[in-house]
């Protein structure tokens, strides 16, 4: 089954039982069968690790606009916000 980029997975939810059954029949995996397909979350959180602090703004309110341009240029991934995992600037520099 193929789908285009603009069709929501909910359009295929009526087929989840059949798809799972067909997978288990066509590709049996013994005592560990494929589980029923289900809708995935649309709220994905990503962590970008190991960026040099020298290139990042120290003010947390400047982080999102700073990263937005870079990430938008590289991917089509929708980007809605950014934050430091360590909010204290001094502590970030010590890690």
Q: Determine contact, residues 63/84, Cβ cutoff 8 Å.
A: yes
Distances (CA, A) of 80 to 55, 63, 64: 21, 12, 8
Whether residues 14 and 31 share a domain: the answer is yes
Confidence band for 82, pLDDT divided at 50, 70 and 90: confident
Q: For residues 30 and 50, state if they share a domain.
A: no
Q: How many domains does the chain have?
A: 2
The answer to whether residues 95 and 63 belong to one domain is: yes
Shared-domain flag, residues 92 and 63: yes
Q: Is the pTM of this model over 0.85?
A: no
Residue 3 scores a pLDDT above 70: yes
Q: Same domain for 54 and 20?
A: no
pLDDT single digits (tens) 7-62: 877 888 898 899 889 989 998 888 888 888 877 766 667 777 778 888 888 788 88
Same domain, 95 and 55: yes
Structural domain of 24: 1-40
Q: What is the pLDDT of residue 6?
A: 80
The Cα 23–Cα 64 span in angstroms is 42
What residues have CB less than 8 Å from 89, skipping those under 6 apart?
A: 58
């Amino acid at each position: 089954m193929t789908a285009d980029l603009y069709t929501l997975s909910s359009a295929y939810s009526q087929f989840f039982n059949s798809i799972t059954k067909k997978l288990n029949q066509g590709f049996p995996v013994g005592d560990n069968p494929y589980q029923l397909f289900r809708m995935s979350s649309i709220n994905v959180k990503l962590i970008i690790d190991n960026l040099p602090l020298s290139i990042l703004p120290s003010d947390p309110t400047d982080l999102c606009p700073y990263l937005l341009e870079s990430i938008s240029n590289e991917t089509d991934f929708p980007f809605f916000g950014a934050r430091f995992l360590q909010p204290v600037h001094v502590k970030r520099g010590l890690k």
